[in-house]
């Protein structure tokens, strides 16, 4: 789980439930670099009832067929309405502070972070009649398409980008004994070059130690189950004769909400090393797994 404007949302790869806030991210890359398209027009959510064939919702030009719109389970626009008046992704209408964890605010498309090319919508259970937009009908388990319509560059025709996600109910289950889950972490990087912005990667592995737990439940832990991850980074001092033997660089609260978790429970954090010294650093990750707060071992990382 990550946060959008301070509210918990569940990424598409983190086994979102039908009643939660499903966070559908979209990354736009142009010529190998993240970039804003000229216009971000709309996002449609359709059920996947065609064995993965999304073309049933498109016309011969590759755009959403107007007659299909009535079958959309959810429609997002940049301003939370059907007007489509604001399509420049740099406009304030895309500001994620507009998300206040209500079904009305969930109808918008948001620009994420300080850089370019990162957008998201939040699929939230509920009726959006108060804002005059279509309600969310993606309330059942199963697979869905999220179809994004963009204008890549000025003067070009609109184009669709199609992704998929799945909603689950097995995030709720029962057992007859406490689950005994052991989680371990490992840091991928050992060295980081100074003045780089590096995506720190921490892998997660889970073992269910109960003998009587079904394979179906154990298989859940082969996917994404980590929640509320945060990272702490300290600079180890060469001279420990006075004061603390380290300098705090990033505390847990500094990274909470900025840490991401992928479909294999790899925890990532973009660390900008422009303003730090070279030398030895120590990194730890904290996360929730069921009723446990798992604090990892301390990992050494060299900035050189």
Q: Tell me the pLDDT band of 121, cut-offs 50, 70 and 90.
A: very high
Pick the CATH number of 181-303 from 1.10.260.40, 3.40.50.620, 3.40.50.1370, 2.60.40.2710: 2.60.40.2710
Q: What share of the chain is helix, strand, coil (3-state, %, to 5)?
A: 10, 40, 45
* CA atoms within a 13 Å half-sphere pointing along the CA-CB vector of 226: 30
Choice among 34-38, 159-163, 167-171, 262-266 with the minimum mean pLDDT: 167-171
- Residues 5, 18: Cα–Cα separation, whole Å: 21
CA 172/CA 133 separation, integer angstroms: 30
The 3-state secondary structure of 84-99 reads CCCCCCCCHHHCHHHC
pTM score:
0.71
SS3 string of 176-211? CCCCCEEEEEEECCCEECCCCEEEEEEEEEEEECCC
For residues 248 and 235, give the distance between their C-alpha atoms in angstroms, rounded to a whole number. 6
Every domain of the chain with CATH number 2.60.40.2710 lies at 181-303
Give the number of residues written for the chain. 304
130 has a pLDDT exceeding 70 = no
Q: Of 13-17, 150-154, 223-227, 246-250, where does mean pLDDT reach its minimum? A: 223-227
**pLDDT in the model for residue 131:** 39
Beta bridge partners of 110: 120
* DSSP 8-state assignment for residue 234: E
Task: Indicate if the pLDDT at residue 189 is higher than 60.
Answer: yes
């Amino acid at each position: 789980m990550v946060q959008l404007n301070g509210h918990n949302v569940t990424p598409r790869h983190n086994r979102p439930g039908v009643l939660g806030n499903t966070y559908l991210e979209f990354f736009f890359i142009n010529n190998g670099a993240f970039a804003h398209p000229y216009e971000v027009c709309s996002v449609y959510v359709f059920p996947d009832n065609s064995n993965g064939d999304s073309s049933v919702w498109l016309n011969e030009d590759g755009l959403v067929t107007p007659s299909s719109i009535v079958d959309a389970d959810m429609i997002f626009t940049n301003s939370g309405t059907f007007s489509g008046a604001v399509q420049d992704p740099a406009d304030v209408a895309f500001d994620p502070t507009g998300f206040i964890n209500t079904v009305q605010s969930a109808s918008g498309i948001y620009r994420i972070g300080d850089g370019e090319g990162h957008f998201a919508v939040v699929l939230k259970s509920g009726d959006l009649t108060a804002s005059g937009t279509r309600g969310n009908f993606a309330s059942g388990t199963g697979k869905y398409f999220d179809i994004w319509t963009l204008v890549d560059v000025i003067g070009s025709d609109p184009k669709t980008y199609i992704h998929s996600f799945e909603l689950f109910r097995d995030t709720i289950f029962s057992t007859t004994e406490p689950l005994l889950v052991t989680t371990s972490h490992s840091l991928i990087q050992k060295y980081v070059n100074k003045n780089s912005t590096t995506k720190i990667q921490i892998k997660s592995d889970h073992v269910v130690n109960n003998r009587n737990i079904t394979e179906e439940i154990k298989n859940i832990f082969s996917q994404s189950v980590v929640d509320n991850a945060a990272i702490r980074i300290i600079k180890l001092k060469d001279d420990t004769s006075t004061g603390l033997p380290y300098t705090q660089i990033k505390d847990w609260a500094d990274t909470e909400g900025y840490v991401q978790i992928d479909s294999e429970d790899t925890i990532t954090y973009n660390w900008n090393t422009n303003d730090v010294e070279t030398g030895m650093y120590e990194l730890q990750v904290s996360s929730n797994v069921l009723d446990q707060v798992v604090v990892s071992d301390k990992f050494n990382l060299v900035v050189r």
